[in-house]
Structure 1
Amino acid sequence: MKTYKVIQFGAGATGKFALRAILTHPRLHLVGLGVHSPQNEGRDAGAFCRLPETGVLATRDRDSLLSTEADCVAFLPWDSPAGDVLEADSHSGALFALVCALLASGKNVVASAPNSLVYPPYLGPETMARLEGACAAGNASFLYTGVSPGFMPDRLVLALTQISARIDQISVREIMNYANYGDRDMIMGLLGFGQRPERFDPSALSGSFARALGGSVAMVADAIQTNLDRIDIDVEFAMASTGFDIATGRIEAGTIAAERIRASGIRDGRTRIVAEHITRVDDQVAPDWPRFGSGQREGYQVEIHGAPSMKMELELGAFGRNPMADAGWAVGGHLANSIIGVCEAPAGVRSFMDLPLAIGVHRMTA
């Protein structure tokens, strides 16, 4: 069997899961590891994911990685959910420039960042032109992959439509509790938890989800060949009735303790495709918003109304496992399992619609 040389960028909270998934795949061979933090430079790749030494040492030298011969780059650096790849001076803009440089150097790229690249055609002709130009220059392919978005609101939904004879409406939602999530800048900053609603500007929040969830809605619409008139973004907040503490700080009574962010694809005045995130930091808040019928706190719901009509609930962190850790495993596994298909695809900007199904080949335990 042919093996593929892989460079990974990013070995943080999510990157470590992808790194392990790459190192344990018999057809993937790690040849480089890029990191951001000075204290991680020189560490063996195996140390990031509790595996034996690999001989591949982490580096901050991007030029050396650009010149390293490899078939594919697993691209998982941290990026702000509010990032915009078209803002050249932003962190997301710099990551986008690096993605284009990697593609132009002849390396395929499978990425979970920048977050706005879920479905590049949705971002407009300028973004597509830069990506397609880089792919053409290096005879390489690009794919964004993840969990939500990147699998649940798009790839999984499309798989379920394989048995559809008629589709009236599609809805998919992520339901999460972020009380134990430790990123203060995201929880108390971008997402606005613990802030007074009248003092919180949700524009960055709605913009980030317009690109991410909106991209998933656009991908599903294109896949099932449904022309949408527009994609609307709605943000709702629910407040805490009493004060309490979470991992990132204090939530006072009257401040934001739950939010519902929805991307709705509209055609002929009717809502046809919906992708939404419902996030709480207290399970008692917003009792009228959707929850799981089986009582678990976190996971995903998919509803397809039509013939047949169906509803599915999928729980990450089942059987007593940690949901946030399992989300990391899901991102890492999905990305690593997608590498071979991208390497063997024609050059260009790819999506799930034109790639073979990435399944758990070689993942069964001994």
Structure 2
Amino acid sequence: MSRRLRVVQWTTGKTGSAAVRGMVGHPVLDLVGCYAYSPDKVGRDVGELCGIDPIGITSTDDIDALLALQPDCVSYMAYRPNFDHLERILESGVNVVSTMYMMAGFGYGEQATHRLRDACLRGGSSLYASGIYPGHAPMVALAASAMCSRVERLSVLESLDISGYANEQMFRAQGFDLDPDDPAAREACEASCGSFKDQIPVLANALGLRLDGVGFRVEFATANQDTDLGYMTVKKGRIAGFKGTVSGDKDGRSLIECSFVWKLGEDMTPNWPVTHGYVIELDGVPGVRVRLEPQGDHLDGTVTTAMPAVNAIPLVCAAPPGIVNLMDLPLVRAAGQFRP
């Protein structure tokens, strides 16, 4: 880069805090401001909000003040998108990276997607959505496919015990602690997989594959007893785990799969094993398997979710206006991040 890039962080939840920590001391990025969703965070030092030493930047809910800082990019990691805010940011000429992958497709509806795209075109800005999954893990799958002379099926599996994440609002929205016979359970789980549904056509397009449609299937595991997680309780007989797949289908076959095993603890039936990471498989010639897993005991999902978006900021700022995906950018990598 010929100059350093100015970045505003949008909210400091778990993932947003990881993004802030990843930007402090970054070789290319300068964090210049931060949007606070919660009134009790306004006026507080961003470093303290994110679990590090003070960094001399205070959070605010004044959007005009943040845009007046003339940022090159906003790192947008709100719990739910505010399309009025996003439209205002993009049409002002500020690029956006986000871990909300559904903004890269039609997960929030065609009207929302067209609204964001048009704001990009008016402002000459770019919008990019990523994360670990969807986002970076499928990018690794595409890189692995270069070794194959024939690909018959591509599968990416996220397999995790997510009970340590402590996010009751998200878990209940996914359908945890519902009765497995409740029709709302499948609906909630499928709705939470909207980002996978948007990822499937990206992968298909990258591999030159025309699909007939996108399918969804899921199984439930139920708690063997009342399970108190500290932040929520899953009652006996209620949903404590999901095992499912969003598939890209062709001629009655599942060719591209975004699969998941999500569990809140271990005391459930059936008790599926978890790999505590990601398994990428390509059936073909040759068959290839890639594992993304922690070197220690724990894969910090907040860091692995935030950094694929943060590390993409220089590339997104150089991208043409519009909504861009992983095929529109050079390989996202930790450029300049070697710090022996």
Query: Is TM more than 0.5 here?
Result: yes
Which residue does 1:360 correspond to in 2? 334
Residue 314 (1) aligns with residue 299 (2): no
Moved more, 130-139 or 200-209: 200-209
**Distance in 2 of aligned mates of 1:306 and 1:9:** 42
Tell whether the 8 Å contact from 1:14 to 1:76 is kept in structure 2 after alignment.
Answer: yes
Which residue does 1:85 correspond to in 2? none
Give the 3 Å change call, closer, same or farther, for CA 290–227 of structure 1 in structure 2: farther
Which residue does 1:234 correspond to in 2? 217
Deviation for aligned residue 1:131: 2.3
Q: Work out which of the residue numbers 277, 295, 301 in structure 1 matches 2:279.
A: 301
Give the 3 Å change call, closer, same or farther, for CA 15–291 of structure 1 in structure 2: closer
| Amino acid in structure 1 at the alignment position of 2:36 | V
Give the 3 Å change call, closer, same or farther, for CA 347–278 of structure 1 in structure 2: same
| Amino acid in structure 1 at the alignment position of 2:266 | D
Which residue does 2:240 correspond to in 1? 257
String of CA shifts for 1:287-313, please: whole Å, max 9, x gaps.
574644xxxxx1111111001101222
Q: Work out which of the residue numbers 117, 133, 146 in structure 2 matches 1:162.
A: 146
Deviation for aligned residue 1:205: 2.5
Deviation for aligned residue 1:181: 3.0
Q: Work out which of the residue numbers 75, 96, 102 in structure 2 matches 1:109.
A: 96
Aligned CA RMSD, in angstroms, stands at: 2.2
Number of aligned residue pairs: give it.
Answer: 338
String of CA shifts for 1:22-79, please: whole Å, max 9, x gaps.
2221211122111111221112222233545433211011232233311111111122
Give the 3 Å change call, closer, same or farther, for CA 245–288 of structure 1 in structure 2: closer
Which residue does 2:12 correspond to in 1? 11
Give the 3 Å change call, closer, same or farther, for CA 319–302 of structure 1 in structure 2: same
Give the 3 Å change call, closer, same or farther, for CA 191–221 of structure 1 in structure 2: same
**Distance in 1 of aligned mates of 2:231 and 2:131:** 25
Helix, strand or coil at the partner of 1:58: coil
Helix, strand or coil at the partner of 1:176: strand
| Amino acid in structure 1 at the alignment position of 2:173 | L
| Amino acid in structure 2 at the alignment position of 1:313 | R
Q: How does 1:135-214 map to 2 (within 5 A)?
A: 135-152=120-137, 154-187=138-171, 189-199=172-182, 201-202=184-185, 203-209=187-193, 211-214=194-197
Tell whether the 8 Å contact from 1:116 to 1:208 is kept in structure 2 after alignment.
Answer: no
Instruction: Write out the 4+ residue segments of structure 1 that deviate beyond 6 Å after TM superposition.
Output: none
Deviation for aligned residue 1:340: 0.3
**Distance in 2 of aligned mates of 1:248 and 1:200:** 25
Deviation for aligned residue 1:280: 1.6
Tell whether the 8 Å contact from 1:181 to 1:248 is kept in structure 2 after alignment.
Answer: no
Give the 3 Å change call, closer, same or farther, for CA 121–61 of structure 1 in structure 2: same
- TM-score normalised to the size of structure 2? 0.92
Helix, strand or coil at the partner of 1:277: strand
Give the 3 Å change call, closer, same or farther, for CA 250–141 of structure 1 in structure 2: closer
**Distance in 1 of aligned mates of 2:14 and 2:164:** 14
Which residue does 1:88 correspond to in 2? none
Give the 3 Å change call, closer, same or farther, for CA 124–254 of structure 1 in structure 2: closer
Which residue does 1:43 correspond to in 2? 44
Helix, strand or coil at the partner of 1:180: helix
State percent identity of aligned pairs: 30
| Amino acid in structure 2 at the alignment position of 1:181 | Y
Helix, strand or coil at the partner of 1:14: helix
**Distance in 2 of aligned mates of 1:123 and 1:196:** 27
- TM-score normalised to the size of structure 1? 0.85
Tell whether the 8 Å contact from 2:248 to 2:257 is kept in structure 1 after alignment.
Answer: yes
Deviation for aligned residue 1:146: 0.8
**Distance in 2 of aligned mates of 1:139 and 1:269:** 42
Deviation for aligned residue 1:6: 1.0
Tell whether the 8 Å contact from 2:224 to 2:269 is kept in structure 1 after alignment.
Answer: no
**Distance in 2 of aligned mates of 1:252 and 1:53:** 41
**Distance in 1 of aligned mates of 2:54 and 2:227:** 44
**Distance in 2 of aligned mates of 1:286 and 1:307:** 37
Tell whether the 8 Å contact from 1:19 to 1:332 is kept in structure 2 after alignment.
Answer: no
Give the 3 Å change call, closer, same or farther, for CA 52–170 of structure 1 in structure 2: same
Give the 3 Å change call, closer, same or farther, for CA 304–62 of structure 1 in structure 2: same
List gaps (5 residues or longer) in structure 1: 80-91, 293-297
Helix, strand or coil at the partner of 1:236: strand
Deviation for aligned residue 1:165: 1.2
Give the 3 Å change call, closer, same or farther, for CA 361–10 of structure 1 in structure 2: same
Tell whether the 8 Å contact from 2:247 to 2:258 is kept in structure 1 after alignment.
Answer: yes
| Amino acid in structure 1 at the alignment position of 2:291 | E
String of CA shifts for 1:102-150, please: whole Å, max 9, x gaps.
110010111113x522x32676753443222111111111100111112
**Distance in 1 of aligned mates of 2:150 and 2:289:** 15
Which residue does 1:24 correspond to in 2? 25
